[in-house]
Amino acid sequence: MQNFNKVLVANRGEIAIRVFRACKELGIRTVAIYSEEDKYALFRAKADESYLIGEKKKPIEVYLSIGEIINLALKKGVDAIHPGYGFLSENPEFAEKCEEAGIVYIGPSVHTLENLGDKIKSKLLAQSVGVPVIPGVDKPMTSVDEAVVFAEKYGYPVILKAAAGGGGRGMRVVYSEKDLEREFNNARTEAKKAFGIEDIFIEKYLERPKHIEVQILADKYGNIVHLYERDCSVQRRHQKILEFTPAFSIPQEVRDRLYQDALKLSRAVNYVNAGTAEFLVDKHGNHYFIEMNPRIQVEHTITEMTTGIDIVQSQILVAQGYPLNSKEIGISSQESVVPRGYSIQCRITTEDPLSNFMPDTGKIDVYRTSSGFGIRLDGGNGYTGANISPYYDSLLVKIISWARTFEGTTQKAIRSVKEMNVKGVKTNEAFLINVMNHEKFLSGECDTHFIDDTPELFD
């Protein structure tokens, strides 16, 4: 067991605050890094120490500065680094450099990150252990001809994806051959620009699937459990807007298969720490693995609400060497994880749904939060007087509700979103309320096309 004295979070905003809170509750000192643009950001004040880095760098690059982050960590006597999500959270080089510097990386091993970071590799791995995947090519494509041959064999639509992609970026759906060459070139250029690697692949595009993912938690001693599933089908442009658990519209027998396949995959890579296996499920209940995210996810909160397990604390404890059945983590067996009730997470963003979700920026004049039984707020940059900059993602606060029934948790979430009062910047609040009031949402049956198919959500 290596008890940490000090943890640095190589991230910003709400997830940095989430990790600082977990550390404090565990008696661990916290270190923030921040960019010039984040000088007045709230997360900075929530850490015990905070340091400006990357003074001459672009705002995004600051949080990607591997060398600078590690040097600072060494100088300040940091024992471990938590990468959060986005930025360096799936970068094997970062994990490796931490290891070389004698700093614990709070996440899976370098080897696991290498295997799972690439979507083609992780699909091949899934296939090798008998987990179903969507038909696709098994190596990066070097010419559009390969894409044409594939699409002729499997039929349109097809989807082009960046092998290193994430966050819903670098994907292009193609409906006919005449668009394939143009989109092929666009996808490669976009992949190179966004992820530094131009490798792209192609797979069959499933019509109207649901996105269901399974949370995994594993210790260093081969013990692994799943923490059940999340339904993340409410998406816009392949990005999640709102998530809930359990995925009650999916038959239990299908959900059981997802748990088993998530565990199978995790075991195949000797997975350690928290991770998520993502699947698409079609109308017939067939499931397909799409990728494994070897990090904490934005929507981990809803699983915490229904299982009572603090996933971020568990990540830190696992990295310190605690087994799952230790009294600190408290998971004696799979059977001991019993989810209760229903939870929804709404992502309140500073985006204007009526202007194609354009991010809005500027000063927040009024920031009044909601509260009450069954409501949890994981906030980032919001306070009266805060400046919302155009440089980073537009997530303002996550509202998470919990209740015994889905109806109950939906009503709580709606009440809570309505109770929030943000003035000075536009938000997506009214849009989220329309989503939650929609009968299709209440039936739990939304698929990934729900938003595109439902223009009245914008009324």
Closer residue to ligand ADP in complex, CB, 275/382 = 275
Stretch 399-438: interaction string toward ligand ADP, x if CB under 6 A? ----------------------------------------
CB of 130 to ligand ADP, least distance (A): 20
CA distance linking residue 198 with residue 390, whole number of Å? 26
CA distance linking residue 125 with residue 421, whole number of Å? 47
Q: Does 199 bind ligand ADP (CB under 6 A)?
A: no
Residues 216-245 that bind ligand ADP (CB under 6 A): 235, 238
CB of 35 to ligand ADP, least distance (A): 24
Give the residues across from 115 on adjacent strands: none
Binding ligand ADP (rule: CB under 6 A), the pick from 13, 92, 117, 166 is: 166
Q: What SS3 state is found at 293?
A: strand
Q: Does 451 bind ligand ADP (CB under 6 A)?
A: no
CA distance linking residue 375 with residue 388, whole number of Å? 24
Check if the beta carbon of residue 451 is closer than 8 Å to that of residue 236: yes
The interface region with ligand ADP, picked from 76-84, 99-107, 162-170, 247-255 by CB under 6 A, is: 162-170
Q: What SS3 state is found at 77?
A: coil
Closer residue to ligand ADP in complex, CB, 158/364 = 158
Check if the beta carbon of residue 23 is closer than 8 Å to that of residue 96: no
Q: Does 262 bind ligand ADP (CB under 6 A)?
A: no
Q: Does 290 bind ligand ADP (CB under 6 A)?
A: yes
Q: C-alpha distances in angstroms, 51 versus 8, 55, 394?
A: 10, 11, 23
DSSP letter at 92 equals H
CB of 210 to ligand ADP, least distance (A): 9
Closer residue to ligand ADP in complex, CB, 121/415 = 121
Closer residue to ligand ADP in complex, CB, 278/310 = 278
Binding ligand ADP (rule: CB under 6 A), the pick from 183, 199, 203, 219 is: 203
Stretch 130-149: interaction string toward ligand ADP, x if CB under 6 A? ----x---------------
CA distance linking residue 278 with residue 280, whole number of Å? 7
The interface region with ligand ADP, picked from 174-182, 202-210, 247-255, 402-410 by CB under 6 A, is: 202-210
Binding ligand ADP (rule: CB under 6 A), the pick from 34, 43, 87, 205 is: 205
Q: Does 159 bind ligand ADP (CB under 6 A)?
A: yes
Concatenated DSSP letters of 119-151: HHHHHHHHHHTT--B--B-SS--SSHHHHHHHH
* Residue 452: both structure tokens together: 């595109």
* Residue 443: both structure tokens together: 């039936």
Check if the beta carbon of residue 73 is closer than 8 Å to that of residue 31: yes
